[in-house]
């Protein structure tokens, strides 16, 4: 049975919005309605580039759509999402869900009362390299995530914790099934009016520790994840992408082509296994969009719903609060 085409519109046609427009306008299961952007010059360029319709009135776009992708600066997420939900429209909201907890809670409550879908754009949940890593790492003791990027003005309306680190907060929450009991954080403001560099040390009730480092004042892009558990150490480079695995036992995580080396340890000689995995390429944004479409059709909860978006926001704001308290 052929899946019903969903009428979807995009609100916000900036840097990220154009990626959404490009994917949605080509999607076999989407009837792409068009987009709205307050910048008329930018809107004209998007129309010329993608041959799509630009709406001059946001309410007309909302009325014509079944679901909306909200890809605006964070401080507009709340008012736009409410406008859509009040018209019984499903919404995809780019991360973070909002800039404060009160607004996020209201979005979740209104969506529940209207029986609408809310999906939050934590795209790393759809990253094939990260999903491969999750299949390898079963009981991490320690997780270290580094996310660095060169400075650009776009995104500086929120601190780096909400701009970049929130991706990794969502990741560790999806990897560690335990309550956070302690957070230490520090950071610095250098190139904008908000925090540009942040470190967070997070401890969970089950003993797992996560260290997160995010910066938008780096020379190069860096996106690395290191995990440690009994007899297993992994280094994931999301920029390549690849996963390196070191282990003292040859588990199912290793391929038949893995290398083996005899080493001396303080407890005697052991065998060290090494492998390098190159995950299959997959368009994470397309998978994220597919999940939104499937959720609309099935009325099932998306992989990253409003409540999960709120949880990541809560931790991000707690980290930001501690950075400010410690003097950024």
* CA distances in angstroms from 37 to 77, 97, 115, 144, listed in the order given: 13, 19, 27, 38
179 Cβ partners below 8 Å, 6+ apart?
204, 205
pLDDT over 80 (residue 310): yes
Q: Are residues 250 and 293 in the same domain?
A: no
The residues with which 186 forms a beta bridge, in sequence order, are 199
With respect to residue 311, please indicate whether it lies within any of the assigned structural domains. Answer: no
Q: Grade residue 325 by pLDDT with cuts at 50, 70 and 90.
A: confident
pLDDT in tens, 39-55: 999 999 999 999 999 99
Structure letter (DSSP) for residue 4: P
Q: Are both 150 and 72 inside the same structural domain?
A: no
Instruction: Copy the structure tokens of residue 17.
Output: 């919005």
Instruction: Specify whether 134 is located in the same domain as 253.
Output: yes
- List, for residues 67-111, the tens digit of each pLDDT value: 999 999 999 999 999 999 999 999 999 999 999 999 999 999 999
pLDDT for position 234: 98
Same domain, 299 and 219: no
Instruction: Read off the CATH number of the domain in which 231 is found.
Output: 3.30.360.10
Structure confidence by residue, pLDDT tens digits, 20-41: 999 999 999 999 999 999 999 9
**189 and 146 within one domain:** yes
Q: Is the bond into 9 cis (omega within 30 degrees of 0)?
A: no
Task: Outline where the chain has alpha helix (H).
Answer: 15-26, 40-50, 58-64, 77-85, 101-114, 128-136, 160, 166-175, 284-298, 306-326
User: Mean of the per-residue pLDDT values for the chain?
Assistant: 95
Between the two ends of the chain, the Cα-to-Cα distance in Å is: 57
Q: Is residue 309 part of a domain?
A: no
In a domain, 310, yes or no: no
Angle between helices 284-298 and 15-26 (to 10 degrees): 60
Based on the fold, state whether residues 263 and 134 are members of the same structural domain.
yes
State the CATH number of the domain containing residue 60: 3.40.50.720
Domains held by the chain: number: 2
- Of 61, 54, 68, 71, the C-alpha closest to 19 is 71
Surface-to-core class of residue 28, CB atoms within 10 Å of its CB (0-12 exposed, 13-18 middle, 19+ buried): exposed
1: pLDDT strictly greater than 70: no
Tell me how crowded residue 51 is: count the other CB atoms within 10 A of its CB.
8
Residue 37 Ramachandran class (φ > 0 left, ψ -120 to 50 alpha, else beta)? beta
With a cut of 60, say whether residue 2 has pLDDT above it: no
Residue 131 and residue 231 in one domain: yes
Judge if 136 and 268 occupy the same domain.
yes
Of all residues in the chain, the percent with pLDDT exceeding 90 is 91
Which domain does 111 fall in, by range? 6-122+284-304
Burial string for 258-273 (b: 16+ CB within 10 Å, else e) reads eeeeeeeeeeeeeeeb
- Which SS3 state, helix, strand or coil, does residue 185 take? strand
Q: Are 87 and 215 in a shared domain?
A: no
Query: Between the CA of residue 94 and those of 71, 101, 131, 301, 308, what are the distances in Å?
Result: 6, 16, 20, 17, 13
Q: Are residues 277 and 295 in the same domain?
A: no
Q: Is residue 1 part of a domain?
A: no
Same-domain check for residues 173 and 321: yes
Asked if 47 and 133 sit in the same domain, the reply is no
Helices and strands of the chain, counted as H and E runs:
10, 15
E strand or H helix that includes residue 204: strand 197-204
Tell me: the pLDDT tens digits for 109-149?
A: 999 999 999 999 999 999 999 999 999 998 999 999 999 99
């Amino acid at each position: 049975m052929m899946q019903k085409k969903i009428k979807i519109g995009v609100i916000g046609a900036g840097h990220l919005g154009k990626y959404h427009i490009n994917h949605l306008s080509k999607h076999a299961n989407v009837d792409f309605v068009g987009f709205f952007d307050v910048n008329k010059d930018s809107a004209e360029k998007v129309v010329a580039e993608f041959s799509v319709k630009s709406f001059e009135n946001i309410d007309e776009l909302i009325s014509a759509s079944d679901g909306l992708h909200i890809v605006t600066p964070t401080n507009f997420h709340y008012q736009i999402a409410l406008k859509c939900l009040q018209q019984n429209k499903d919404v995809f909201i780019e991360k973070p869900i909002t800039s404060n907890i009160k607004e996020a809670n209201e979005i979740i409550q209104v969506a529940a009362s209207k029986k609408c879908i809310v999906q939050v754009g934590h795209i790393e949940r759809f990253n094939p390299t990260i999903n491969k890593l999750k299949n390898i790492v079963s009981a991490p003791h320690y997780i270290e995530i580094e996310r660095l990027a060169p400075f650009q003005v776009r995104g500086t309306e929120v601190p780096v914790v909400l701009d970049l680190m929130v991706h990794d907060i969502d990741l560790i929450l999806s990897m560690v099934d335990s309550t956070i009991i302690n957070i230490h954080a520090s950071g610095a403001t250098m190139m904008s009016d908000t925090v540009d560099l942040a470190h967070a040390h997070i401890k969970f009730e089950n003993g797992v520790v996560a260290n997160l480092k995010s910066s938008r004042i780096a020379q190069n892009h860096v996106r690395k994840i290191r995990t440690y558990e009994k007899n297993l150490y992994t280094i994931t480079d999301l920029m390549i992408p690849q996963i390196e695995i070191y282990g003292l036992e040859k588990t199912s995580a290793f391929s038949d082509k893995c290398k083996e080396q005899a080493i001396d340890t303080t407890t005697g000689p052991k065998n060290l296994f090494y492998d390098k995995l190159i995950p299959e390429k997959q368009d994470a944004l397309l998978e994220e969009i597919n999940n939104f479409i499937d959720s609309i059709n099935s009325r099932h909860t998306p992989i990253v719903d409003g409540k999960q978006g709120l949880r990541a926001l809560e931790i991000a704001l707690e980290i930001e609060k501690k950075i400010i308290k410690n003097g950024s």
